[in-house]
Structure 1
Amino acid sequence: MSCFSHPDRHKVAVFVRDGLLPIELGIAHRLFGQARSLDGELLYDVVTCTLKPGAVRTDIDVTIDVVNGPDALGEADTVVIPASDDDYEPLDRVMNPDLAAALKRIRPTARIASICTGSFVLAAAGLLDGLCATTHWRSVEQFRALYPKVRLDPDVLYTDAGRILTSAGVASGIDLCLHMIRSDYGSAVANEVARGTVVSPHREGGQAQFIARPVPEIQASSTGKAREWALGHLDQPLTIADLAAVESVSIRTFTRRFRQEVGTSPLQWLNEQRVERARALLEETDLTIDHVATRSGFGTAASMRQHLHAVLSVSPSAYRATFRGSSTACG
């Protein structure tokens, strides 16, 4: 009997281990479980599974009862592997034979994603060899020592190498799940899930911006008002001076505060927002490429083509035709 009750939906198996961080299990269920079509139909069927059904220890003072065993992995379209507190002290690169056998149940066509140090499991299984991947910044050196064949990028929130995806710390699991939802069903569905979860559909910067650093001097104001204003005027030729004027500060002060708060420069942020706007318009409207370029603030189709190719490695027309509802792979 199938572990999934709705075989017509995209099947997601969340594979948990002893030492589970409950928040990461909740991330996968909450985000995939909210995704609905424009007709209101649920798009994913999500189940939890483990090596041996029964009580699974967490890293807090509760256990969870998991009824599904590793058979669910063989049915899943997407497998999500959250972290375990055991990941933080892997003594060697030898994988538990039962865990290795369970992973072999995953179909060759299924997508596999890790949250936080769940990437250690993928690396130990050899699934990340030669691929771009990430993990929690605290575990970077340990990961590199154990798995030198992996192209580890410690400065991103998540990576997408096609079939295999990884995310950094706990909260970046949200970013990764939204990315997968967007890849499956487009930005409109992903944005609605983000809205229902009260999170940003897309976070700028990488995990380096969240690593402890000296606290900056007290700021008289933030840059939030300028960012909100910019999103309403993306179709216009905006400058740093325009944004600084919204906050009534100098360009130098604004730029410094912006980088402290957002983790990137104002111009880089504007480019990212314009790419996101262009993607949404290409996915959701029948506007011509020229009109999409104008509405997203690139001005010309040539300029938009250059920026989209730098981020997505495809042209606007190819994105619309082939990647509608898709997203870029790890570069």
Structure 2
Amino acid sequence: MQEPLSFRELMYIDAKVLSYAEDIHNKHYRSFFTDEKAKNASNMMFIAYPLMIETEKYYNGELLSTYAVFKAMRELGENYRVTAYYFENLIIRIISFWDYLYQFLNMYFDLKLYDFRAKKRIIEISGYTPEFVSEGRGQRVEFKPKSNEEQKKIRKDLNKKLNTINKSNILKYITGIYEVKGNLKDLLQIIVNNNVGVFQEVRNEIIHQRPAGANFTVNFNEMLLNYSVLINNSGWIEFERYDADIERCMDLIGKSIQKVHEIVHLNEYPNRIQHAGIEYFVKEVTCISCNKVFIAPSLLLGDKDEFAKVVICPLCGEVGCKVNKTFKTTEVDYGTYLGNYLSAFEE
């Protein structure tokens, strides 16, 4: 029987493979920022920027390095079991990337979808009622379970109401809520075309049935409708079957990251469907009294700035301003500017 690989044999990458892999890594290393980066940076940048940086680091780091080592081993004909180890690592990282992207899009576009853990936790918490219980000089919160009948109904209702984050729901919700055009349209088409499903089937086999480098595996015999032991001394993964899919998926991952950067950096946050085609503008104005600059939604000033003389300064409370310049914004940012202006007058 073949001896298992030692730790050194499994993890060691010789100088030839390392050099070859480094060349592959450097060839595919990318900087995804646009030439006009942050030219029209919006309020949404504060949400998106750190997550985009993490996505870029993941691509150029964990994903690309694993891809480079696997490709180098394939082309240099290294040990099958060691190559299989990096194959497992690579396809899991490819699948994970798309999950990370869906998480980002869910938050950025406020789709109100949930991953399985969040959904499960929401359902669990909803089965309890928080009550304040006196304790000494203060109070503490105690969660008391609702009746079995109430919990059953809650679970049933929330299981239907809370939809999960996945490829299908991301596409369905974005196209159902927003006007899709430009870079967002391109991004959704990339998601439609991603071939990650090819790897998900293999991933499931690896996780639940057999490691990629196995020679002896449990196999379901479709003729006998039962399980048997499958023996394959050359291994059950035929890497060449997946080479084209790996290349295609890596290419689509790079393109999707670039599209996300362009959507955010160029401030292409879409209008909601009911406001499709509407353009939003705000104006930089200077208060006549205090001479301070603030942003005013164009709605307050009129089409030809005819109401500039009666606009109230949110900084000093005096009336009257002069318009310095007008710039285009998005529906979501326009709402933020309007909200900020009006909130200045709240007591």
- Same-fold call, TM cutoff 0.5: no
Higher relative contact order (CA 8 A, sep 6+): 2
- TM (norm. structure 1) is 0.29
From the CA coordinates, give the structure whose radius of gyration is larger. 2
Greater helix content: 2
